[in-house]
Chains A and B, each alone.
Chain A
């Protein structure tokens, strides 16, 4: 039976095929060029072909507003941020200078193969290197960055001779002035052909700051419990912890990777939750022997969340603070927060961001935490994060969050496709 989605895709493609290549009418640009797109009086609106000038005015106002909000936020951020925001522990210039100069993103869209990984300069968005998924693997699936801004670890999935599929890991080293980067296959298999796994099998993925250890979650079909594994990339050792408790581990079916390392490359934070409403972050000392994950780890923070989603998490260098997106919806308003929990008490220490969104929303996310733990790269509404102002359908951006101000990164959105790592 053909699904609704398939019928929709087919119908849309059929409709699109009614417009042959090269059949667009000539472009007719307006003779007058108002500096500001103003909505003109009705009697002045003469359509260039039909009575669609009102649409033009609305398009100009609405569409340009969407673009200009991002730009104006960026301008404000560079000028020092709103006066009402709390004092930053470090200067804005220092914060912006501390973010990684490069990021790596998987091209392609969710549900489609990620055939290449592209490294880009954060400041300009310029592609510095592109690396294709190596045969016989058919798609990259996840990516994580080490602390040196040069080392990334990627997972890739491909068919396994004899049936099934396997998920392998590759290291990608990038040297801005050196030869073209290439992939080195790591001696770790997440999934081999004989493993029983849920979907592609790989949940969260995080390479340690020193680039020597890889933490990843293997999702297995019930009643098999999910596993958290930590592999030594130089030693070849591997330890496995099993989550025997109820609920899910590190991946609630979302395209996020809620596993994070502290600066010591020893303490690992991972997300664990129940159903679609409650979640927690637990800390694991990865030098301990493998075994029961619940017993080996300790609860650091727990909260209820409003939407059926999790997010990426970050851990401060000293493992004292867990940073996570938290969403609360009440009375038609969504409180979108980037919350900093004390890992000792589990209490919220600070809201790094707190946007108030008119309607039901979610989707803010933590992508990177700076060495001082005070500079974050997040995804969120391109608006002042602590103003308390109710936002109505704001544009969203990838940006730097520090000291109560959010500065969208130029170009990051244009190239952000699916997975991204700093």
Chain B
């Protein structure tokens, strides 16, 4: 099943507007209504933490809003949001790693208890293993096998070449399988 971040309306429906224009607010709001849940789902797969996922998506939309007038092609709003969400998740995970080295900082390090209870033990093992992968492998796997994007679309979202997506996906799957076997 294809996940739901690509089927709703895109920014192409809206006329170009300047920052602060009511049109920009309406356009970004409508995009949010159409895609926010799908992007939060994408982020929660990456992060295992709903509040952090919501923050990342909120920031992605805030970034889009700031740039609305400069986007020559508003039809690319959704790919932009997807890339921004991916980058936001990457930064959030890096922040957690940095925070682990600085224990004084308060961080949300693991999946929330509510999240863990909802997804079940087996799925949580897979998601924990997924989050132990290098960032690019994790992103490639989620975009490819959760969002079911094509290699070229994954490449666009990650800003790499399709060939890189292919090799990264293969390596990621192999690494994930190895991690799961180690835990079994």
Contacts and interface: CB of A to CB of B under 8 A. Distances in A.
A37 interface: yes
10 contacts: A4-B173, A8-B146, A50-B52, A52-B92, A59-B60, A60-B63, A67-B83, A70-B76, A359-B160, A363-B166
Contacts of B149: 109
Contacts of A70: 76
A95 to B, nearest CB: 21
B163 A52 contact: no
B66 A414 contact: no
Contacts of A264: none
Contacts of B146: 8-9, 12-13, 16
In this complex, the member of B36, B52, B161, B177 whose beta carbon has the largest number of chain A beta carbons within 10 angstroms is B161
A27 interface: yes
Contacts, number: 253
B37 interface: yes
Contacts of A373: none
In this complex, the member of A34, A109, A413, A416 whose beta carbon has the largest number of chain B beta carbons within 10 angstroms is A109
A151 to B, nearest CB: 25
A62 B87 contact: yes
Contact of B180 (A7, A58, A59, A62): A7
Nearest to A18: B118
A12 B45 contact: yes
A249 B88 CA distance: 44
A362 B84 contact: no
A63 B41 contact: no
Interface stretch (A159-167, A179-187, A210-218, A390-398): A390-398
Interface of A: 4-5, 7-25, 27-30, 33-35, 37, 47-50, 52-56, 58-60, 62-64, 66-68, 70-71, 74-75, 109-110, 112, 125, 307, 309, 327, 334, 336, 357, 359-364, 379, 381, 393-396, 410-411, 413-414, 416-418
B163 A59 contact: no
B159 A361 contact: no
Contacts of B120: 14
B152 to A, nearest CB: 7
A336 B160 CA distance: 13
A50 B54 CA distance: 11
A12 B60 contact: no
A19 B73 contact: no
Interface in B55-111: 55-63, 65-67, 69-73, 75-76, 79-80, 83-84, 87-88, 91-92, 95
Contact of A55 (B41, B95, B127, B148): B95
A33 B65 contact: yes
B126 interface: yes
Given A55-B56, A59-B59, 19 more contacts: A4-B176, A4-B177, A11-B119, A11-B123, A13-B1, A19-B53, A37-B63, A50-B51, A52-B56, A59-B63, A62-B83, A63-B63, A67-B67, A74-B72, A109-B153, A110-B151, A336-B161, A359-B164, A379-B152
Given A5-B173, A18-B118, A49 B50 contact: no
